[in-house]
Structure 1
């Protein structure tokens, strides 16, 4: 007896879990989406087959007895695809809008009805006896069924999609309350904020940036040794002696002194004056010390 009761209790618990899952809004939405995919596939299959059936009759209507394989006969095959493609575009857009319960604008519905009417008239024109062929009741019924089925399918599809969406909405509304609504919210006690005066930051000492030396950090060239007046006089005297030993006649001028010593224009005047002086003065200049004397240091 106890075993039977326990088994029955387990079955009841399993049934409760299954019922909780089957009534869950997410599970219902998943099942509805599967049904929606099946319905859309069947509807599109019927529409495409119906339009393909009407293609031959529309081509015969457009060819109007043109010879087979002629240009008019080939062009007649373009009439039915032209109308069908426009119709399929409207139906595809309506499939998406119906999913979210959005109605098509007026011109979209007019375009759909116009393409259906054109397809029906061209498909049944000959059967009604409006051409050279006699009236045929069987032909009217035969060629009226595909366009009318396509029309009914196109009008029924949006309604079915709208009802499927409404089923999902009702399942969500009738479902159990969300966990957020069932779980009470417990607020932790919050301690009052104590605002303490913030300590003023110490004044920062701005450091003066050290600028890099001009010239991109290049090393300065080694300073040339400073030459004295006596050095220039000695160099000019040696050049003069060498020229006289070679038998050359040299006119001691500032330009010549500047050429042989490389001194400046102002110094060359002093060097030329010293060379034109007595030989004793030259010897005295040669015997001078190389130390700079006040008034004799001249920049090169």
Structure 2
């Protein structure tokens, strides 16, 4: 009986040890999967796929409209004549301007920099011009089928041009959220990093140094020679999220638009932190105005 009990105890301990090893391995895998750098890498891969698919659809949609716009611009000119040849330049002119705007927004949306009203007006104008020139003949002929056929590509391009900008902006937000989640889950003073190349959870302020010159301190007696020790610095104080928020609140004045760029300029925080700070500050100021 004693031997049997010992064998059962050993088997239970072995299963428990294996479960503990599996749990440790699962925790390590989850820690890596939720690490901000890993999340950022995955988001960048998704961003590249989204860009390729959207650009392919936009280019194909604009290419579909080229023939109709040329026919509209030629206005019945003879095949091969100068007006007929020149008409082929109209659609590429509009499309190149539109593609240039979308390419610029691809970069600005990545860093959540919002463009001005003129950029949006230029984008909408080029899309509207493409739509009108592509569907004019169908409207004039009173052909509903032709209107639908020639409306789909320009409208799809228009919606895709607007949606892809928001998608890039939200993908950037996903990286920021992953970093903030890792920051919130870390212990105070713990670094969010990997094997020595750690990134501090909170950005450090200028570190304070301990005085090391004993001769400059009053009432210091050294009866025995003391071996000089290397100078040590106090650990840098981590600037917390609340500190950045307090700085932004103290700087904000009525009439100032709260944006991530303004938060970065005011507090000196990182880009990943500025979006969350701007959102929290806007919400708190909105509550304060509502309370009044």
TM-score range, shorter chain: 0.5 to 0.7
1:171 offset after TM fit, Å?
1.0
Q: Which of 80, 83, 87 is the matching residue for 2:91?
A: 80
**Partners of 1:147 and 1:138 in 2: CA distance:** 15
**Partners of 2:97 and 2:148 in 1: CA distance:** 25
Output aligned runs, 1:24-63, within 5 Å.
Answer: 24-63=35-74
2:89 aligned counterpart, secondary structure = helix
CA 1:33–1:127: 2 relative to 1, 3 Å? same
Task: Check if 1:141 corresponds to 2:163.
Answer: no
1:160 aligned counterpart, secondary structure = helix
Partner of 2:159: 152
In the superposition, the TM-score normalised over structure 1's length comes to 0.59
**Partners of 1:15 and 1:189 in 2: CA distance:** 47
In the superposition, the TM-score normalised over structure 2's length comes to 0.61
1:128 aligned counterpart, secondary structure = helix
CA RMSD, aligned part only?
2.2
Task: Check if 1:118 corresponds to 2:140.
Answer: no
CA 1:103–1:24: 2 relative to 1, 3 Å? same
Task: Give unpaired runs (5+ residues) of structure 1.
Answer: 196-300
**Partners of 1:42 and 1:181 in 2: CA distance:** 36
Deviations 1:249-269 (A, max 9, x none): xxxxxxxxxxxxxxxxxxxxx
Q: How many residues align?
A: 189
**Partners of 2:175 and 2:36 in 1: CA distance:** 7
Q: Which of 104, 115, 127 is the matching residue for 1:104?
A: 115
**Partners of 2:49 and 2:215 in 1: CA distance:** 61
1:189 offset after TM fit, Å?
8.2
1:73 offset after TM fit, Å?
1.0
Partner of 2:177: 170
Bigger radius of gyration: 1
Output aligned runs, 1:223-242, within 5 Å.
Answer: none
1:105 offset after TM fit, Å?
1.2
Partner of 2:212: 190
1:193 offset after TM fit, Å?
3.7
**Partners of 1:73 and 1:181 in 2: CA distance:** 64
Higher helix share: 2
After TM superposition, what 4+ stretches of structure 1 lie above 4 angstroms from structure 2?
Answer: none
Partner of 2:252: none
1:188 offset after TM fit, Å?
7.9
